[in-house]
Every structure is written in structure tokens, then in C-alpha cells.
Amino acid sequence: MPGYAERVKVFGIYIQGGPIGVVVATGGIRRVIEFRAVTKRFEDGTIAVDELDLTVEAGTITVFVGPSGCGKTTSLRMVNRMIDPTSGTILVDGKDVLTVDPPTLRRGIGYVIQQAGLFPHRTVLDNVATVPLLSGWDKRKARTRAAELLEIVGLDPAFGKRYPAQLSGGQQQRVGVARALAADPPVLLMDEPFSAVDPVVREDLQNELLRLQAELDKTIVFVTHDIDEALKLGERVAVFQTGGHLAQYAKPAELLSAPANDFVASFVGRDRGYRTLTFLHADVPVHPVTTARLGERVTITDWTLVVDEQNRPKGWLSGVDGEVEVAEKDLISGGSLYDGTTLRGALDAALSSPSALGVVVDDAGAVTGVVQAADVIQALAKARAAGEVPK
């Protein structure tokens, strides 16, 4: 099997995920969590997990995704023995989990639960300090560590003195993540952690997790029923099918471009062609655009992009005859902005713009030019011809 490259630049196109035929020399990959022929049959006879063989590699975010009743949460909970398998073996770092006493095993594995599951009767700081205290750290050291973690997950340490009920759902979930990280476990299990917060907060939390992971390099198993969340967070995604079968275990781009069966194809959803673009990072030609500032007197001939003093886009101007003074009230609001990262962003910017020109911005948010949908499609065609789109 060819090696996997996380992000390999080929002909100016970045492809994240997917076997791309480039062998990257790596040493022996440490396999951190291994499921070997793991089956879980509950007392009532239902099979929650059926002969699961899967290896979660060290330092990756691996997402278990699937509809309810597919065995994804059961699989997760077998790692720290909250559920024991009926048959098969689970190895964490080569060691059979069934040989370790559950409380000891669990203190070495971080766990983030749905809706945070914070202890309502303990302050935020003491919640975070839970595992260090259980492991016998002294109170002062545990609290100092807890305060550090609040900062790491982006919370003001002043929150430490509050009780969980005094925090918003998103803040509680950050505390949940901090609590799981407190004893610095190499493995982190996350059980639908962001399912109970609103979409905007969820996106924040997802970005925060990706930022944290870039720094911490944990082995993370993340369970969700949300395929978009899975594709966004997962370096590897395991799609579970009802009845506890593993339908496909692949990188996100591969799931989108080459679903293993009809179940995966339908679970991944209708827009998968479009969503594949999320994983393509291409150089799309950027064209110049006519800009004007508010209050300026200009002659409008074509679509004109109105910008502020810092050159940040305000909106479009069109369809006025002759020389006009650029006024806020005449602006037609623009579409999404393209920050030069993925083809999806480029195409969306072009498609959502009233002028059909996608506004390209730099890191400071200043306009650098525009992209056109046709150019994006062409970049995609080139990538496909070059074999850079996973088949």
C-alpha cells in the first residue's frame, strides 16, 4: 500500500488526505489503539459492534461516524472499559485493556462526554483538577495545572471560581475538554462532545479542537453522528453502519470521492462532489477588480467593489449611470469571501457573489482580487487530469 501523506504539494495543488501514490518515508508507525475482531453483544441479544478491526494511529484525530445504533459510541466506550467487549481484543499502546483495572486505565485516557457532564457541585477549577486529584497530586499543584488548562482551551482563568451552571453551553464544553486534558493523557476519547451546542458555537469549538490538536498531538477518537463534523475534524474517518459494521475507514477526501458502498455514499450525502472541493487546495487565477471607496465620486461602468479605508470589502455597486458618489445605501451586499485556502471556498465565493466574481482577501481581510467559477472548475479539471483527485 502506498504511504500516506498528510498534505503534499503537487503542482501547486494541495491535497489533504487520500492515498496519492507518493511514498513518504516514515518510520514504523506506532499504532496506539487497535481493535482486533471486537464484538459486543448486549444481554438482549442485539449486536452493537460486529467483528471490528480497526487501528487508530498515534497523533491523529480519528472520527467514528454513523447513524444512531451503529455501535460508534459502544466502540469508543470499550477503549476505556466503560463497556467490555463480548469477544476480541482492544490494545492501547500494545497493551490489552482488559488486563488493566478500569479506574487506573481511565485516569490515563481523557474523556469528553456529551453536554460536558461537568460536576455541578464543583467549581470550574475543581472540575478541571478532577483527574490529577484522583491520581494523587496535591491540591495546589492540581489547581495550578487546572488554571493553565483553562487558558489553553481559551477560557479566562477567572471562570475557575464559578460553578458550571454559571457558564454557557459552549464554555462548559471547553471546561469539559480542559478536564479531559488535565492529566496530559496521550489518548483522548470524545463522545459527541459538540452535539448539544448551537451551530455557531459548535464551529468555534471544532476550530479550537483543531488548533489544540496542532499543539498537543494527542491520539483522539471522536464520535459524532454529523458527517460534516466528521469530515472537518477527522484525519481518518470510520463510517459505521447499523448493526455495528464498519462500512469504510478512510481519509475524508476518499470517503467523498470513493465511497465503499451505497450506505456510505448516501450517508456522506448529496453534495459530496461539491464537498470534495473542501479537500483541494489549488492555485486559482486571481483577477484584478475595479474598486472604489465610500464617498468617492466615480464613473461606474461595470461591477465595482466598494472597500473601506483598510481596503476591506463593503459591497458591490452596479447599474448606475454616469458619475456617482459612492454611498452606503446603494451597495449590494457581497457573498462569501475566499481566503485562498480551499477550492470549495473559491467556488462558493464566486457563486454567492452578486457579480459572479468571488472576492479574494488576504489574512488582514483586505481585497487582493477576484476569482471566477469557471477558473475553479478548470483548476479542478486540471487536478483530475493530473490524478490528484482521489478516485
Partner 1 sequence: MTWIFENWERFWEVTEVHLRLSVVPVVIGFVLSIPLGWWASRSQTARAILFPFANILFTIPSIALIVITPVLIGVKILDEINVIVPLVVYTVALMVRAVADALAAVPGNVVAAANAMGFRPLRRFLTVDFPLALPVTIAGLRVATVSNISMVSVGALVGLGGYGQLFTEGYQTDNTDKVLAGLIGTVVLAVLADGLLLLIGRLLTPWARVGR
User: Which residues sit at the interface with partner 1, rule CB under 8 A?
Assistant: 80, 82, 102-107, 111, 113-122, 130-131, 134-135, 162-163, 165-166, 168, 176, 179, 189
Residue 264 CA: distances (Å) to CA of 51, 72, 164, 227, 239: 19, 15, 38, 10, 7
Place of cell 462532545: 193
| Shortest distance in whole angstroms from residue 186 CB to partner 1 | 15
Supply the minimum distance, in Å, between the C-beta of residue 38 and partner 1: 19
- To which residue does cell 469477544 refer? 87
The least CB distance from residue 3 to partner 1, in Å, is 35
Q: Which is nearer to partner 1, 98 or 298 (CB)?
A: 98
The residue type found at 268 is V
Nearest approach, Cβ of residue 124 and partner 1 (Å) = 11
- CA gap 86, 84 in Å, rounded: 7
Please say which residue, 77 or 272, places its beta carbon nearer to partner 1: 77
If the CB atoms of residues 31 and 107 are measured against partner 1, the closer one turns out to be: 107
CA distance 130 to 114: 18
Here the cell at position 223 is 464520535
Residue 368 in grid coordinates: 487582493
Q: Which is nearer to partner 1, 161 or 211 (CB)?
A: 161
Question: Would you say 106 or 275 has its CB closer to partner 1?
Answer: 106
Pairwise CA distance, residues 111 & 139, whole Å: 21
* Buried-exposed string 245-259: b where 16+ CB fall within 10 A, e elsewhere: bbbbbbbbbbbbbeb
As measured in angstroms, the least distance from the Cβ of 135 to partner 1 is: 8
Query: Closest distance between partner 1 and the C-beta of residue 115, in Å?
Result: 6
| Residue placing its CB nearer to partner 1 in the complex, 76 or 359 | 76
Cα separation, 280 vs 278, in Å, equals: 6
Nearer to partner 1, 135 or 261 (CB): 135
Tell me whether strands 304-307 and 95-96 are parallel, antiparallel or unpaired.
Answer: unpaired
> Which residue from 268, 258, 251, 257 is spatially nearest to 17, judged by alpha carbons?
251
CB of 122 to partner 1, least distance (A): 8
